[in-house]
Amino acid sequence: MRLLRVSLLICVAIGVALATTAATGVAAVWPTRPVKIVVAYPAGGTVDVVARALAQKLGESLGQSFYVENRPGGGGNTGTDYVAKSTPDGYTLLMAADFQFTINPAFDGNLPFQVKDFAPISLAADVDLVLSAHPSLAADNLRELVALAKKQPGTISYGSYGAGSTNELVIEQLQQLRNFKLTEVPYRGSGQALLDLISGRIQWHRSASQQRFPICAAAN
């Protein structure tokens, strides 16, 4: 069931200090070799899907190979730091959610990278988020789910991507506003959480509509 919609922006960024025509005195020609797009999250998630579709289209448009490499970990910080420390030549790109450069730095003042280490290229996608419940849960809407959670505090589990993730922040804020308690189950990415929701290992989950709607349509 669709319970809540939240806007999520997915951004592409590159390492700072790209070689420029002014610096080299040579007309810039790009790309002349394969380009790596680093996804800072596990394979199968929304960012990964968007990155692979973008890689295919860029390859077709520019006549050069674009490929995706997943480097998950640390809420996306591992892959982001990898790109920050890569050679700033335009051949290692980063595909990450906007919270990588907004929420994460606010939660952790000791990140190994800084926002200024990256130059934005483009907004790649605008993704709507939805909250879904397993069919076994005796609730058909958000109001009923909150009422059930109040009667059975801590017995309903939800999948998150760790402290500071948009997933956790949305659910935690909702719990504070409505005064109920869920049990958090952390995952490295949305793919495994979605599979566990379908199987009933967790009862509640927030993910992108692009992941959820095909499953809901098939179930109906």
Q: Which of 97, 116, 118, 99 is nearest to 14 (CA)?
A: 118
Least confident of 130-139, 154-163, 209-218: 209-218
**196-212 pLDDT per residue, tens:** 998 999 998 876 655 54
Query: How confident is the model at residue 20, as a pLDDT?
Result: 39
Please tell me the total number of residues recorded for the chain in this structure: 220
**pTM of the entire predicted model:** 0.76
Read off the pLDDT band of 188 (50, 70, 90): confident
Q: How confident is the model at residue 157 (pLDDT cuts 50, 70, 90)?
A: very high
The model's pLDDT over 77-115, given as tens digits with 9 standing for 90+, comes to: 899 999 999 888 889 999 888 888 888 888 788 899 988
Whole-number Cα distances in Å, 191 to 20, 90, 177, 202: 39, 29, 28, 13
Predicted local confidence at residue 210, as pLDDT:
53
pLDDT, mean of residues 137-151: 91
Residue 4 has pLDDT above 90, yes or no: no
Which amino acid appears at position 17 of this protein?
A
Neighbouring residues of 3: CB distance < 8 A, sequence distance ≥ 6 = 130, 131, 132, 133, 141, 142, 145
Which pLDDT belongs to residue 124? 82
Rounded Cα distance between 4 and 180, Å, is: 16
The more confidently predicted of residues 51 and 120 is 51
Amino acid 141: pLDDT: 86
Identify the weakest region by mean pLDDT among 8-12, 146-150, 212-216. Answer: 8-12
Domains of the chain: 6-127 (3.40.190.150), 128-219 (3.40.190.10)
| Statement: residue 133 has pLDDT above 90 | no
Three-class DSSP labels, the chain: CCCCCEEEEEEEEEECCCCCHHHHCCCCCCCCCCEEEEECCCCCCHHHHHHHHHHHHHHHHHCCCEEEEECCCHHHHHHHHHHHCCCCCCCEEEEEEHHHCCHHHHHCCCCCCCHHHEEEEEEEEEEEEEEEECCCCCCCCHHHHHHHHHHCCCCCEEEECCCCCHHHHHHHHHHHHHCCCCEEEECCCHHHHHHHHHHCCCCEEEEEHHHHHHHHHHHC
63 burial level (CB within 10 Å; 0-12, 13-18, 19+): exposed
Q: What is the pLDDT of residues 14-70, one digit of tens each?
A: 443 343 334 444 446 889 999 999 998 888 888 888 899 999 999 999 999 999 999
